[in-house]
Amino acid sequence: MSQTLSIIRPDDWHIHFRDGDVLAEVAPATARHFGRAIVMPNLSPPVSKVEMALAYRQRIMAHTQGYNFEPLMTLYLTDDTSVADVDAAAASGFIKAFKLYPANATTNSAHGVTDLDALAPVFERMAELGLLLLVHGEVTHDEVDIFDREKAFIDQHMQALTQRYTQLKIVFEHITTADAAQFVLAASDNVGATITPQHLMYNRNHLLVGGVRPHNFCLPILKRQSHQQALQEVVKSGHQRFFLGTDSAPHLRHLKENSCGCAGCYSAPAAIELYAHIFDEIGAIDKLQGFASQHGAAFYGLPENDSRITLVREAWKMPASIALGEHSIVPFFAEQTLNWKVQD
């Protein structure tokens, strides 16, 4: 059994850095081991214009100096996004995609899209200029069960999006169901998907059995074990249109542990170790480099990173919390043992 694993430096194709004091903690956590990251734009107010993305990028880079790291920016799609916004994004050189949040789907998504058809000129221009569409694929209707919202989005919107805009590259973000995996497998080469560590490692029992565990609460919510197993099978296959996107989403402890706790798992402190742990457990450690370091770059049309990291088979425990001033953040997999560690 191999005790070390050297892989091309990975990328995180879906990350939440937040801002302010939280940004100062979480941006270096990703930059330590990752070459690039697609940065989500759901700040308050949302990052919906190029000048806002530039300012945010500069704030990120101020906290990642000394690392071999590049933040790749996204713009938040709203009902008011225009073709001119797409042109400006493409001209910037550092904006790679637009993020589609259905209104009120998750944290800071109140400004999300309410009418996809009205954005047809925007989507068509994105396809022409090579900008990607990143989709949070859940409906938000109260009458749809929270565990069924991803499947409902596929039926109501995703099928139509991919059929109407055949030249547009679309990433189905943080997929959680067998339905989503099968949808991507059956789609064209212009449709890919990211998968988080929590959806590979956990199912809804880890959220609900023995009491509600707020630090395992994320959106899309953890699903039943059969869906977790379907995601594990698709990464074991080594399929090139599935790639790493942590959806790491930090929230201060007191905002998670209350009567209306925030959604999100903070996996950045040990993201690649978490993936290595679960890939090893399911007998797919040989597929980790493709998933973490190659498939996403190829889908985005970018070169692979030109450096490597080495993981060592070594048992270590995730800390119980991470101090942040007078507050703290509880990381995903807190106080549990991981079997791989990056060799610094």
Q: Which of 191, 136, 139, 194 is nearest to 165 (CA)?
A: 191
Looking at residue 106, what is its pLDDT?
A: 59
Looking at residue 248, what is its pLDDT?
A: 98
Looking at residue 111, what is its pLDDT?
A: 73
DSSP structure string for 229-256 = HHHHHHHHTT-TTEEE---B----HHHH
Q: Is 174 annotated as a binding residue?
A: yes
* 95 phi and psi angles, rounded to 5 deg: -100, 125
Q: Contact 19/261 with Cβ under 8 angstroms? A: no
Reading the chain (344 residues) residue by residue, the pLDDT tens digits are: 779 999 999 999 999 999 999 999 999 999 999 999 999 999 999 999 999 999 999 999 999 999 999 999 999 999 999 999 999 999 999 999 999 998 765 555 567 788 999 999 999 999 999 999 999 999 988 999 999 999 999 999 999 999 999 999 999 999 999 999 999 999 999 999 999 999 999 999 999 999 999 999 999 999 999 999 999 999 999 999 999 999 999 999 999 999 889 999 999 999 999 999 999 999 999 999 999 999 999 999 999 999 999 999 999 999 999 999 899 999 999 999 999 999 97
Looking at residue 260, what is its pLDDT?
A: 86
Residue 147 CA to chain centroid, in angstroms?
19
Q: Is 14 annotated as a binding residue?
A: yes
Q: 229: buried, middle or exposed (CB in 10 Å: 19+, 13-18, 0-12)? A: middle
Task: Report how far residue 9's alpha carbon sits from residue 137's, in angstroms, rounded to the nearest whole number.
Answer: 28
Looking at residue 2, what is its pLDDT?
A: 77
* 232 phi and psi angles, rounded to 5 deg: -60, -40
Task: Report how far residue 24's alpha carbon sits from residue 324's, in angstroms, rounded to the nearest whole number.
Answer: 9
User: Domains in the chain, start-ordered, CATH in brackets?
Assistant: 10-301 (3.20.20.140)
Could you tell me whether strands 170-172 and 191-195 are parallel, antiparallel, or unpaired per DSSP bridges? Answer: parallel
Catalytic center residues: 247
- Beta-carbon contacts of 184 under 8 Å, excluding residues fewer than 6 positions away, are 172, 175, 191, 192, 193, 241, 242
Q: Is 219 annotated as a binding residue?
A: yes
Task: Report how far residue 79's alpha carbon sits from residue 84's, in angstroms, rounded to the nearest whole number.
Answer: 14
Q: Is 32 annotated as a binding residue?
A: no
Q: Is 215 annotated as a binding residue?
A: no
Looking at residue 191, what is its pLDDT?
A: 98
Q: Contact 238/285 with Cβ under 8 angstroms? A: no
Residue 145 CA to chain centroid, in angstroms?
23
Residue 283 token pair: 């007998």
Task: Report how far residue 292's alpha carbon sits from residue 11's, in angstroms, rounded to the nearest whole number.
Answer: 6
Task: State the pTM of this model.
Answer: 0.96
Q: Which of 69, 58, 48, 67 is nearest to 23 (CA)?
A: 58
Looking at residue 114, what is its pLDDT?
A: 87
Task: Report how far residue 266's alpha carbon sits from residue 273's, in angstroms, rounded to the nearest whole number.
Answer: 13
Residues 187-193: contacts with CB under 8 Å, at least 24 apart: 187/162, 188/162, 189/241, 190/162, 190/166, 191/162, 191/241, 192/241, 192/242, 192/243, 192/295, 192/296, 192/299, 193/241, 193/242, 193/243
